[in-house]
């Protein structure tokens, strides 16, 4: 009887011992899973009269492994899968852009470094980097992250060369101008019935307080040179009141740039045209929506609500 009791006790003890080990193995796995899956917290259970406090973790903004794999390189591969299903650059770019819907909006992501360098951030986007990254991914060689970065640099910097703050293209008309000269797109605004955009661009050079890096003499010289380059080109735009009449000329995947009312500023916002129920809408990274969204209203009606924009320019990818 004593031996039997001892035997039963030993069996029960070993079962609890095994269970305890499993608990200590499972809890770290749960915690680790919550970290990698981006879960903010996990609850360990409830007990009468006792409240468990959730264990909280900080979400990593960037991850980097010794193999050189980053969150951005993984996102590149994920996004490019959508591009590879298409044939034309326009369709590839639009497919990538669609996959970004819901991505958080961020401002000033290219100005976080003290020294100018190629900044890659596919986790957060503004209206410009949304357009730029979608196109760079579409242009990249299959599975080649370095190819994507090369295209991104070619799109973002004058001549594709990183040489200080002033070498970056800071006006979207400059971005359109260089991309057209490189044979990537065509500015169709004039052909669609646009009228001359009589505006002298110089917003940055006359506002050094707003752009501290422009106070550097070399940066200021380069910014002014870029402004002269842009002002030497004849630009056209379609005023708000005329957009409804020419809406049928816009195709899905066209880059739509919203012209600014501010003096000396060219473009206030940009995105891609997307067709819903036969009407053109704007897919864009919205500062108000705090993420990449598709406008609820068709383009003409959407523009009517934007007091800071006067009209549009339309460019088509080749």
Q: What is the DSSP string of 231-279?
A: HTS--EEEEHHHHHHHGGG--TT-EEEEEE-STT--EEEEEEEEEETTE
C-beta separation of 284 from 297 below 8 A: no
The structure tokens 């068709």 sit at 298
Tell me, yes or no, whether 230 and 269 share the same domain. yes
* Whether residues 9 and 109 fall in one domain: no
Q: H or E stretch including 314?
A: strand 309-317
pLDDT for 256? 98
Residues 310 and 188 in one domain: yes
The pLDDT value recorded for residue 69 is 81
Same domain, 169 and 248: yes
Query: Domains in the chain: how many in total?
Result: 2
Q: How far apart are CA 147 and CA 154, in angstroms?
A: 11
Instruction: List % helix, strand, coil for the chain (3-state, nearest 5).
Output: 45, 20, 40
Residue 106 lies in a domain: yes
Query: How far is it, in rounded angstroms, from Cα 222 to Cα 166?
Result: 5
d(CA 169, CA 159) in angstroms, rounded, equals 10
Which structural domain, as residue segments, surrounds residue 80? 71-317
What is the pLDDT at residue 32? 42
The b-or-e profile of 215-244 (16+ CB within 10 A means b, else e) is eeeebbebbbebbebbeeeebbbbebebbe
CA-based radius of gyration for the chain: 27
Residues 6+ apart with CB under 8 A from 227: 171, 201, 202, 204, 205
Query: Is 166 part of a structural domain of the chain?
Result: yes
Contacts of 168 (CB under 8 A, 6+ apart): 110, 116, 156, 157, 158, 162
In a domain, 62, yes or no: no
Helix, coil or strand: residue 312 = strand
The tens-digit pLDDT sequence of the chain (318 residues) is: 433 334 444 344 344 444 444 444 444 444 344 333 333 333 323 333 323 333 332 333 444 444 568 999 999 999 999 999 999 999 999 999 999 999 999 999 899 998 999 999 999 999 999 999 999 999 999 999 999 999 999 999 999 999 999 999 999 999 999 999 999 999 999 999 999 999 999 999 999 899 999 999 999 999 999 999 999 999 999 999 999 999 999 999 999 999 999 999 999 999 999 999 999 999 999 999 999 999 999 999 999 999 999 999 999 999
In angstroms, how far is CA 183 from the centroid of its own chain?
23
Q: Is the same domain home to 93 and 154?
A: yes
- Residues 171 and 195 both lie in one domain: yes
């Amino acid at each position: 009887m004593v031996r039997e009791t001892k035997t039963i006790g030993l069996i029960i003890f070993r079962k609890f011992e095994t269970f305890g080990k499993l608990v200590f193995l499972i809890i770290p796995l749960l915690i680790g899973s919550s970290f990698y899956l981006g879960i903010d917290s996990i609850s360990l259970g409830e007990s009468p009269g006792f409240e468990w406090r959730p264990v909280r973790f900080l979400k990593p903004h960037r991850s980097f492994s010794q193999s050189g794999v980053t969150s951005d390189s993984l996102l590149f591969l994920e996004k490019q899968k959508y591009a590879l299903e298409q044939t034309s650059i326009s369709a590839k770019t639009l497919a990538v852009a669609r996959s970004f819907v819901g991505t958080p909006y961020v401002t000033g992501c290219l100005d976080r470094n003290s020294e100018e360098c190629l900044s890659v951030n596919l986790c957060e986007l503004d209206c410009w980097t949304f357009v730029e990254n979608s196109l760079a991914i579409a242009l990249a060689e299959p599975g080649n992250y370095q190819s994507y970065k090369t295209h991104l640099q070619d799109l973002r910097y004058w001549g594709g060369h990183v040489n200080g703050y002033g070498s970056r293209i800071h006006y979207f008309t400059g971005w359109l101008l260089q991309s057209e000269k490189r044979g990537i797109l065509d500015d169709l605004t004039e052909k669609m019935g646009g009228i001359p955009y009589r505006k002298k661009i110089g917003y940055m050079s006359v506002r050094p307080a707003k752009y501290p890096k422009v106070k550097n003499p070399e940066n200021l010289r380069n910014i002014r040179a870029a402004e002269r380059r842009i002002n030497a080109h004849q630009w056209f735009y379609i005023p708000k009141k005329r957009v409804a009449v020419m809406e049928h000329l816009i195709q899905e995947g066209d880059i739509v740039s919203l012209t600014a009312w501010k003096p000396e500023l060219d473009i206030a916002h940009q995105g891609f045209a997307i067709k819903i129920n036969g009407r053109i809408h704007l897919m864009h990274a919205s500062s108000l929506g705090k993420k990449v969204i598709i406008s609820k209203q068709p383009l003409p009606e959407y523009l009517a609500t934007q007091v800071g924009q006067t009209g549009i320019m339309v460019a088509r990818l080749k």
